[in-house]
Amino acid sequence: MTVTEGILQHSLPQAVGVYGGRTYKLSKKTNPRARYIRGEEFPLVLQAEFPVDPSEDKSVYSDFAAFAQELAEKHDFFKTLIRKHGALVIQGFGSDCPKRFAKFIGSVAKGSQWIPYEQNGVAHPRITIAENVTTVNKSTGLSRLYAHQEFSRFKRYPSVLTFFAKEPSETGGHETITHATELFDKLIEKYPEFIEQMIKKGVYLTQTWPYEQKLANGSVYSWKATHSFGSLIEEDDDLEKQKAKAGLICKEYVVDEFEFTKDDGLKLHEHTQPVRRDPYSGNPILFSSLPGYYAKYKLDLEKNGSSAEPAITYDDGSFIPLEYLDYLLEQSIECCYEHPFQKGDIVFINNYTCYHGRTPYGTQNREILASFWDDAPEYKVTPSELKYGADHV
User: Per residue in 363-383, pLDDT tens?
Assistant: 788 999 999 999 999 999 999
pLDDT at 306: 65
What is the model's pTM?
A: 0.94
Q: Does residue 213 surpass a pLDDT of 90?
A: no
Give per-residue burial for 46-58: e unless 16+ CB within 10 Å, then b.
bebebbeebeeee
End-to-end CA distance of the chain: 51
pLDDT at 366: 92
Mean pLDDT of all residues belonging to the chain? 92
The confidence band for 3, taking pLDDT boundaries of 50, 70 and 90, is: very low
All structural domains of the chain? 4-176+338-392 (3.60.130.10), 183-330 (3.60.130.10)
pLDDT tens digit sequence for 340-359: 999 999 999 999 999 999 99
What is the rounded average pLDDT of the residues 196-221? 88
Torsion region of 390: left, alpha or beta (phi above 0 gives left; psi -120 to 50 gives alpha): alpha
pLDDT at 123: 81
Q: Does residue 315 surpass a pLDDT of 50?
A: yes
pLDDT tens digit sequence for 221-254: 899 999 999 999 999 999 999 999 999 999 999 9
In sequence order, which ranges of the chain are alpha helices (DSSP H)?
60-75, 77-85, 98-112, 180-190, 192-201, 239-249, 290-304, 322-334
The most confident of the ranges 17-26, 139-148, 306-315 is 17-26
